[in-house]
Amino acid sequence: MGNAQQRPPGRGDGGGQRTQPCNPGQGRGRGKSPIINGTQGNNRTHTADESTVSSPADTGGDSSYLDAPAGALPPPLARLKNEGNRLFKNGQFGDALEKYSQAIAGCEDAGIDSPEDLCILHSNRAACYLKDGNSTDCITDCTRALELQPFSLKPLLRRALAHEYMERYRKAYVDYKTVLQIDVSVQAAHDSINRITKVLIEQDGPRWREQLPEIPLVPLSAQQHRREEPPSEEMLQARADRKAEGEARKAEVRFSSLKKEGNEMVRQGRFQDALGKYNECLQIKPNECAVYTNRALCYLRGGRFQEAKQDCDSALEIEPANKKAFYRRALAFKGLKDYLSASTDL
């Protein structure tokens, strides 16, 4: 269990920062202490409390906020929870953990049956463990919180992050996917899914999905349906940029594949077949010099000297010093019986 003097770098409130989780290989059990991601549309997902509690700095030294109601908890236990929230906000994670533990023990001793309040206490204590780098106890508390209140967003996110830090990528993936069923606007979960998917593909190969535990189906009652605001101009532009980048990557892959197939057909002497591949290449990238010189070779082998010359002209417009284009145009001129031009190119 951590203390205030051993707390990790970073802000105590856990909100507003957008940092990457630790790299694979860090954070086994009580490894490097994490700084928790914020989330778009719910930027308090990783703060310590589900209710608003002021700190002494906010209240001018007045400690009456400690006596604020906290769900169905009796005043002594509510005070422990509120004090834990204040300590967490101030970065005193070990001390906050003590207060939450006392509140949990007090609920058990008093036989308090309030799943919502106990869920929050376990989730808040899990946040302290996570800040202290104790992923194992964080997972235990998050699991208990989810037993009390199934499909609670914060315990799921915290458990997912703890699993990721312990390199339990399959379990982390399942928790992040469950989070997105509850609230699709949690950007941190989207980012983590993308990151973990790459790791799982490397780890388990193309059939990596078959290795995953079952992803629970979130009931409609637990899903958070929000009225979407019209996207801003910046958001629309970002979406358009991402779409364009994706299309460009696909086009590049397609182009490389077609060019490779065309080159192989040339090596096999299948010049007519290669022409079709090069034609498709130029539809994707019309300013690729090497494709023009390759297609010119196919035209030469087919006796189509005028078309070979035109392709060489196009190549030289793109690269005026391209030697292959000059040589193959010379051969085209020779085929056209324009020996002076052929000599000039040579």
Contact 170, 211 (CB under 8 A): yes
Question: In this structure, what token pair is assigned to residue 209?
Answer: 């999905």
Residue 48: which pLDDT band, with cuts at 50, 70 and 90? low
**Cα–Cα distance for residue pair 273/314, rounded to 1 Å:** 21
Residue 11: which pLDDT band, with cuts at 50, 70 and 90? very low
Output the pLDDT for position 29: 42
Output the pLDDT for position 54: 40
Angle 35-28-170 (CA atoms, 0-180°, nearest 5)?
90
pLDDT at 43 over 90: no
**HEC letters along 185-240:** CCHHHHHHHHHHHHHHHHHHCCCHHHHCCCCCCCCHHHCCCCCCCCCCHHHHHHHH
Domains plus CATH for the chain?
75-227 (1.25.40.10), 233-345 (1.25.40.10)
**Cα–Cα distance for residue pair 186/287, rounded to 1 Å:** 42
57-76 confidence digits (pLDDT tens): 444 455 666 777 777 888 89
Residue 229: which pLDDT band, with cuts at 50, 70 and 90? low
Output the pLDDT for position 32: 38
250-303 confidence digits (pLDDT tens): 999 999 999 999 999 999 999 999 999 999 999 999 999 999 999 999 999 999
**Mean pLDDT, all residues of the chain:** 82
